Amino acid sequence: MFPTALLLLPQPHGIQLICLCAAACVCNLYSIYISKPMIILYAAVPAVLLFYCDTCFIYMTSEEWIYMWCVYAFQIAGTMFFSLKQTPVCLDPDVFGYHEIFHCLSIFTAAFVYVLNYSIASRYENTITPSMLYE
Question: DSSP readout, 55-78?
Answer: HHHHHS-HHHHHHHHHHHHHHHHH
Enter the pTM of the model: 0.76
Could you tell me how many helices (H) and strands (E) the chain has, helices first? Answer: 7, 0
Q: How far apart are CA 59 and CA 38, in angstroms?
A: 32
Calculated CA dihedral for residues 111, 117, 120, 123, nearest 10 degrees: -80
Q: How do the pLDDT tens digits run along the chain, 135 residues long? A: 677 778 888 888 888 888 988 888 888 888 888 888 777 777 777 778 788 888 888 888 999 999 999 998 998 888 888 878 888 888 888 888 888 998 999 999 999 999 998 998 888 765 555 555 455
